[in-house]
């Protein structure tokens, strides 16, 4: 779990198994181009957590899907598909 600060009590209650895992120490070593997509209305993952995840990886691009929930592909398919198609891997 990646968090820019202390997670809320509500968030800890939702995802207890993930709190023991902290990827922050090694995220800076992820060399692969990475697309991080988060819905702005996600009730599970606060957008600042997804932004932090992307910021910690040197080759990441962060995209916020306006109004998207936890799985923005289900409600904002066109936007997500466009972002995925526009994400370019180096040749």
Q: Over 60: is that where the pLDDT of 1 sits?
A: no
- Per-residue pLDDT of 62-86, as tens digits, reads 999 999 998 999 999 999 999 999 9
Beta strands in 17-80 (DSSP E): 34-39, 60-65
- Judge contact between 54 and 27, C-beta under 8 A: no
- Judge contact between 51 and 62, C-beta under 8 A: yes
In the DSSP assignment, the letter for residue 45 is S
- Per-residue pLDDT of 11-56, as tens digits, reads 778 777 766 778 899 999 999 999 999 999 998 889 999 999 999 9
Residue 55: the pLDDT is: 96
Residue 11: the pLDDT is: 74
- Judge contact between 30 and 61, C-beta under 8 A: no
- Judge contact between 15 and 3, C-beta under 8 A: no
pTM value? 0.76
């Amino acid at each position: 779990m990646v968090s820019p600060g202390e997670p809320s009590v509500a968030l800890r209650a939702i995802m207890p198994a993930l709190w023991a895992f902290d990827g922050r120490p090694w995220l800076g070593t992820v060399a692969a181009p990475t697309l991080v997509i988060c819905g702005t209305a996600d009730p599970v993952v606060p957008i600042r957590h997804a932004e932090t995840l992307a910021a910690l990886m040197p080759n990441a691009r962060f995209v916020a899907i306006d109004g998207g929930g936890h799985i923005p592909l289900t409600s904002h398919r066109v936007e997500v598909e466009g972002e995925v198609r526009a994400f370019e891997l180096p040749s």
